[in-house]
Amino acid sequence: MRPFILGCLSVLGFCGSAFGWGCEGHQIVALIARAHLNPATAAAIDQILKQSPIDPALNRFCKERPADPMADAATWADDTKNGEKTGIWHYIDIPLTASEHANLAAWCAPIGPSVGGKDRPGCVTNAIEYEARILGDPGRSPAERATALRYIIHFVGDIHQPLHDSDNDDRGGNCTALTFYAEPRPANLHAIWDYKLLQLDLTNKKLSQSDLATALDLQFADQWKAWGEKKPDPVAWAWEGWSLAKSVTYGDLKPAIPVEQPNPQADCNAERDKVAALHIPIDDAYFRKAMPVIDEQLAKAGYRLAGLLNQTLK
């Protein structure tokens, strides 16, 4: 999520999730991936994470932390992004008005250092590639490889959340005001896709993250070869998420939010008020269309994460 939104809207009670799938989604992706790691890859991952553990003094947002080290590591990149200056590595703002499969350079600068205390340039597509090179280099220090691994686990989850690949002049759905069922306070579209829909599904089905990870792995088992054994392609994954944002995330809203060219100088509160005037509800009809997409994206993320790690640590 775009980090400055938390500050500018928190006083209004209008914050989105700090996580690109929430605690639950990122942990589910890691658990699905775990089930498809080669034995040697799984052993290497556990050794890397054990050798350079997460700083116990770090404030962790997800208080219910799983025992699996990959699943625990899955949200570290959000806990540390302000200190590491990697906030903009979590997404790429491809406008909904863009031509599909255009060159991403307009929305994704090359990876670089922090300048003047600002976030390091880059985006989720080249951040995955950058960190995979570090992870796959045995000459790098154990701490560097552990950091790279934690980033990869998280970013592969992020890139499969459609609002981390798209923008409709609303900071990836952060500057919206929608009614989520009977909740008295408005919610933004980014938060709804980060965690609200998934949490509702888990509650309705009385499932834990581990339960849903197992269920999704069974549901999509015949897709392992197509999703998990191909060469990793973060650029293609981003365009896939962008397409889903157009067709489902935004496309199934009733009434529709007009498609607009993003304006970096736009007032987030003005956009929120404009959308609020449309009185868009998130209800069972939207839930039934969104959840199959969310389920498939979580499974894809898990399989592709496993494939990337198997190929990087072979």
Query: What pLDDT, on the 0 to 100 scale, is given for residue 273?
Result: 95
pTM of structure: 0.94
88-112 per-residue burial string, b: 16 or more CB within 10 A, e: under 16: bbbbbbbbbebeeeeebeebbeebe
184-195 per-residue burial string, b: 16 or more CB within 10 A, e: under 16: eebbbbbbbbbb
Could you give the residue ranges of the DSSP H alpha helices within 220-313?
A: 224-228, 234-244, 268-276, 284-312
Q: Give the DSSP H/E element, type plus range, for residue 179.
A: strand 179-180
Read off φ and ψ for residue 176, nearest 5 degrees.
Answer: -130, 160
Task: Measure the CA angle with vertex 236, ends 230 and 239; round to 5°.
Answer: 150
What distance in Å separates the CA atoms of residue 37 and residue 153, rounded to the nearest whole number?
Answer: 13
Range of the domain at 130: 3-312
Contact 52, 146 (CB under 8 A): yes
Query: What pLDDT, on the 0 to 100 scale, is given for residue 64?
Result: 84
Query: For the chain, what percentages of helix, strand and coil (3-state, to nearest 5) are there?
Result: 55, 5, 40
Q: What is the CA radius of gyration of the chain?
A: 18
Query: What pLDDT, on the 0 to 100 scale, is given for residue 262?
Result: 82
User: What CATH number did the domain enclosing 192 receive?
Assistant: 1.10.575.10
Torsion region of 186: left, alpha or beta (phi above 0 gives left; psi -120 to 50 gives alpha): beta
What distance in Å separates the CA atoms of residue 275 and residue 15, rounded to the nearest whole number?
Answer: 16
Q: Give the DSSP H/E element, type plus range, for residue 149.
A: helix 142-159
Contact 155, 127 (CB under 8 A): yes
User: Which residues of 190-248 form beta strands (DSSP E)?
Assistant: none
DSSP string, 49-110: HHHSPPPTTS--S-SS--SSHHHHHTTHHHHSHHHHT-GGGG----BTTSPTT--GGGG-PP
Query: What pLDDT, on the 0 to 100 scale, is given for residue 264?
Result: 81
Per-residue pLDDT of the chain (314 residues; tens, 9 = 90+): 344 333 333 333 344 344 578 999 999 999 999 999 999 999 999 999 999 999 999 999 998 889 999 999 999 999 998 889 999 999 999 999 999 999 999 999 999 999 999 999 999 999 999 999 999 999 999 999 999 999 999 999 999 999 999 999 999 999 999 999 999 999 999 999 999 999 999 999 999 999 999 999 999 999 999 999 999 999 999 999 999 999 999 999 999 999 988 888 889 999 999 999 999 999 999 999 999 999 999 999 999 999 999 999 98
Query: What pLDDT, on the 0 to 100 scale, is given for residue 263?
Result: 85
How many separate domains does the chain show?
1
